[in-house]
């Protein structure tokens, strides 16, 4: 297939212009390559050469970025790229029939591009729409609750030459960014709590912060008991204090809007409904730690929210809420840029996220140093989740005690839960910490559940007999994903899917994660086929603990969780599938010798110490 590869002089000139629009800055490499991908549908070798010359990097460095991200392609893509969400929730909600309908209508299989270069069809991991699955991205447009009938209409429209935007509304161009986002995606707010989704006055927290000393702001956030909502639950006030005390004149605030954990979509709703509150929280953090620069890292899958957030940023600049001397406070200068990702789950890990913001492949960084002392471009950096910033703004408005008094002893305030899967009312529930899984299931119409995945695949899968466990940091910690599975679902199919997700998303830096997860996935496949030996259960445990112990970042340290938690809570699922045989899985690969070198390379630090610094 031939695509519009930039071979002519005018096309090369256009690439030079794209680089110049980004100041020929190598740290803007992801933006540069995204712009080229959008324009030419691929990053060709000639392009990489031009980009390398313009940004004064080597071609290898440019290729390293271009080849890392799933949404960038070295091969030409179709003018319209259809990315079907391949999450297990989508599969159970009818993805196979939706896929078949696309393949039949377009005359291509998943993974192919049509001969005329009009369409590419591919699968992509969770795109944050589990409450309205099956879903797909068509270029920058999000489509949800797909059925074969809808697919027939979609493909007819697109094949008649209309734009993906026309699928949303024939007057798409006249809609505001907020209206566009709403037309594409439902919010499904099922329960609004007192902190985030109820009434929120405009910038009340920011105004309070202007009357306080930076250290008083940090004291207040610390006294509230606020813990990070991205999953690890590190105390936010402490993180801000570390950054404020770090050496250096410039500091950076990064909002982690990467939201890639399968089953999580609460940040999507905050980004749509509470973007001002999130930016208010970032601005308060900037005042607290003395930062002048902010970045919102928005996952590539949420590109449909880009113009909405850009509009909010522009509005706040115009009203003196961002920029120089914010709200008249002399010397309080802070502004924010939006960094769009390009399809890589690992970029949610804060080191990888910082690498990505720096224009590098999204690989985790070796720790220490931690971002609070040496983060973005070597500057002290606070990375917090979208929800954490929103909470911080509310705490400054309503006070530490108000927040502290909600929830439980070790988990204060409210939490957004993204509930999806086999329940009647999938969506967002803002609830105080401390509810049991059973209580949440009753609210969501998921009483018939046989299994619930709390915290996404890197979390815990629990069985019906433990639904009284509590949603708190002290019991079942979660960044917010709650995926409900009925008794009709095959647990091993679910586990095998999640292992394939980790295999796909491993950045490949360390052998235990890169290789070990492939072996775990294969081993689960053997259990599913009834080809495993009783001793292979021990093999799964051994290999899992080796991967956890020797991986460099949180992805590898949690990737065996789907296996470990189901071995623990659904042991019969495994034991029912084994039979005595000589053909043991273990014999096929010796992970210990394969990772001997990796152990040396990774120089793994103690996990306990990492936890102390926010992971």
Ligand X SMILES: Cc1cc2nc3c(=O)[nH]c(=O)nc-3n(C[C@H](O)[C@H](O)[C@H](O)COP(=O)(O)O)c2cc1C
552 interface partner picked from ligand X, ligand SF4, none, CB below 5 to 8 A per type: ligand SF4
Based on CB atoms, which residue is closest to ligand X, 155 or 385? 385
> By CB under 6 A, is residue 555 in contact with ligand SF4?
yes
78 interface partner picked from ligand SF4, ligand X, none, CB below 5 to 8 A per type: none
Q: Are 284 and 392 in contact (CB under 8 A)?
A: yes
Which range binds ligand X by CB under 6 A, 226-234, 242-250, 304-312, 394-402?
A: 226-234
341 interface partner picked from ligand SF4, ligand X, none, CB below 5 to 8 A per type: none
Based on CB atoms, which residue is closest to ligand X, 361 or 554? 554
Which residues have a Cβ under 8 Å from the Cβ of 214 and sit 6 or more positions away?
Answer: 244, 287, 288, 289, 290
CB 51 → ligand SF4: shortest distance, Å?
25
Closest CA to 548 of 574, 507, 570, 516: 516
Closest CA to 281 of 394, 412, 372: 394
Site for ligand SF4 in 532-551 (CB under 6 A): 551
Q: How far apart are CA 513 and CA 602, in angstroms?
A: 11
Member of 129, 133, 151, 232 binding ligand X (CB under 6 A): 232
CB 419 → ligand X: shortest distance, Å?
18
Per this entry, what is the length of the chain? 615
Site for ligand X in 348-407 (CB under 6 A): 348-350, 383-385, 388
CB 302 → ligand SF4: shortest distance, Å?
21
Q: Can you state the angle between helices 177-184 and 266-273, rounded to 10 degrees?
A: 150
Q: How far apart are CA 347 and CA 354, in angstroms?
A: 8
Closest CA to 264 of 401, 384, 427, 146: 427
Write out the E strands in 50-172: 80-85, 119-124, 136-138, 141-143
Binding mask 235-274 for ligand X (x = CB under 6 A): ---------------------x-xxxx-------------
Closest CA to 480 of 566, 435, 419: 419
Member of 35, 105, 553, 595 binding ligand X (CB under 6 A): 553
Q: What is the DSSP letter of 131?
A: G
CB 92 → ligand SF4: shortest distance, Å?
27
Based on CB atoms, which residue is closest to ligand SF4, 61 or 555? 555
388 interface partner picked from ligand X, ligand SF4, none, CB below 5 to 8 A per type: ligand X
Member of 248, 368, 378, 508 binding ligand SF4 (CB under 6 A): 508
Which range binds ligand SF4 by CB under 6 A, 158-166, 437-445, 505-513, 519-527?
A: 505-513
Take residue 134 and report the two structure tokens written for it: 């099956």
Size of the residue set binding ligand SF4 (CB under 6 A) = 14
229 interface partner picked from ligand X, ligand SF4, none, CB below 5 to 8 A per type: ligand X
Closest CA to 405 of 229, 191, 225: 225
> By CB under 6 A, is residue 346 in contact with ligand SF4?
yes
> By CB under 6 A, is residue 155 in contact with ligand SF4?
no
Take residue 8 and report the two structure tokens written for it: 């002519």
Take residue 352 and report the two structure tokens written for it: 């990888």
Member of 134, 164, 231, 263 binding ligand X (CB under 6 A): 231
> By CB under 6 A, is residue 54 in contact with ligand X?
no
Q: For the sheet containing 80-85, what is the strand order?
A: 119-124, 80-85, 136-138, 141-143
Based on CB atoms, which residue is closest to ligand SF4, 294 or 556? 556
Q: What is the DSSP letter of 507?
A: -
> By CB under 6 A, is residue 367 in contact with ligand SF4?
no
Quickly list DSSP for 407-438.
Answer: B-SSSBSEEEEEEEESSSS-EEEEEETT-BHH
> By CB under 6 A, is residue 229 in contact with ligand X?
yes
- Alpha-carbon separation of residue 465 from 422, 452, 502 (angstroms): 18, 11, 28
Q: Are 451 and 489 in contact (CB under 8 A)?
A: yes
Angle at 422 between CA 229 and CA 275, to 5 degrees: 35
> By CB under 6 A, is residue 556 in contact with ligand SF4?
yes
Q: Are 33 and 66 in contact (CB under 8 A)?
A: yes
Query: What is the binding site for ligand SF4 (CB under 6 A)?
Result: 346, 364, 506-510, 513-514, 551-553, 555-556
Query: What is the binding site for ligand X (CB under 6 A)?
Result: 228-232, 234, 256, 258-261, 346, 348-350, 383-385, 388, 553-555, 614-615
């Amino acid at each position: 297939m031939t695509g519009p590869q930039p071979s002519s002089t005018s096309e090369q000139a256009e690439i030079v212009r794209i680089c110049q629009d980004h100041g020929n800055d190598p740290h803007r490499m992801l933006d540069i390559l995204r712009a080229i991908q959008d324009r030419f549908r691929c990053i060709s070798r000639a392009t990489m050469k031009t980009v390398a010359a313009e940004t004064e990097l080597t071609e290898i460095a440019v290729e390293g970025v271009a080849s890392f991200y799933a949404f960038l392609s070295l091969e030409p893509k179709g003018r319209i790229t259809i990315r079907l969400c391949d999450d297990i929730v989508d599969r159970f909600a009818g993805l196979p029939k939706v896929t078949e309908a696309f393949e039949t209508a377009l005359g291509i299989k998943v993974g192919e591009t049509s001969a005329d270069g009009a369409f590419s069809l591919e699968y992509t991991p969770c795109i944050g729409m589990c409450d309205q699955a099956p879903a797909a991205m068509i270029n920058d447009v999000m489509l949800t609750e797909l059925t074969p009938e809808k697919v027939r209409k979609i493909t007819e429209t697109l094949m008649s030459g209309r734009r993906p935007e026309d699928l949303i509304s024939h007057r798409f161009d006249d809609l505001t960014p907020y209206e566009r986002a709403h037309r594409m995606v439902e919010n499904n707010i099922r329960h609004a709590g007192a902190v985030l989704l109820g009434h929120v006055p405009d910038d009340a927290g920011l105004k309070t912060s202007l009357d306080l000393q930076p250290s008083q702001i940090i004291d207040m956030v610390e006294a509230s008991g606020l813990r990070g909502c991205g999953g690890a639950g590190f105390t936010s006030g402490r993180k801000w204090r570390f950054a404020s005390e770090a050496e250096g004149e410039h500091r950076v605030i990064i909002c982690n809007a990467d939201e890639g954990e399968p089953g999580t979509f609460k940040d999507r709703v905050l980004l749509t409904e509470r973007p001002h509150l999130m930016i208010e929280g970032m601005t308060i953090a900037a005042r607290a730690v003395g930062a002048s620069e902010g970045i919102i890292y928005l996952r590539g899958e949420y590109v449909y929210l880009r113009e909405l957030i850009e509009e909010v940023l522009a509005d706040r600049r115009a009203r003196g809420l961002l920029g120089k001397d914010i709200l008249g406070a002399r010397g309080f200068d802070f502004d924010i840029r939006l960094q769009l990702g390009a399809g890589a789950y690992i970029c949610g890990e804060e080191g990888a996220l910082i690498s990505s913001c720096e224009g590098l492949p999204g690989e985790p960084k070796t720790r220490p140093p931690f971002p609070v002392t040496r983060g973005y471009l070597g500057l002290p950096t606070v990375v917090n989740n979208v929800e954490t910033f929103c909470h911080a703004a509310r705490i400054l408005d309503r006070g530490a005690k108000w927040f502290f008094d909600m929830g439980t002893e070790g988990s204060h305030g409210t939490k957004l839960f993204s509930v999806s899967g086999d329940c009647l009312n999938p969506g967002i529930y803002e609830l105080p910490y401390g509810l049991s899984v059973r209580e949440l299931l009753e609210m969501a119409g998921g009483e018939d559940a046989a299994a619930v995945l709390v915290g996404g695949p890197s979390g815990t899968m629990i069985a019906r007999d433990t639904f009284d466990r509590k949603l708190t940091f002290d019991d079942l910690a979660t960044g917010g994903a709650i995926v409900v599975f009925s008794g009709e679902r095959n647990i091993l199919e679910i586990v095998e899917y999640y292992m394939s997700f980790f295999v796909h998303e491993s950045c490949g830096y360390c052998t235990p994660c890169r290789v070990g997860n492939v072996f775990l996935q294969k081993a689960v496949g053997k259990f599913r086929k009834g080809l495993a030996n009783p001793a292979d259960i021990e093999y799964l445990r051994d290999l899992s603990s080796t991967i956890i112990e020797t991986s460099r970042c949180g992805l590898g340290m949690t990737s065996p969780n789907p296996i470990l938690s189901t071995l623990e809570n659904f042991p019969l699922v495994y034991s029912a599938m084994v039979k005595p045989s000589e053909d043991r899985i273990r014999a096929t690969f010796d992970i210990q010798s394969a990772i001997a070198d990796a152990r040396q390379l990774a120089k793994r630090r103690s996990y306990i110490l990492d936890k102390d610094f926010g992971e």
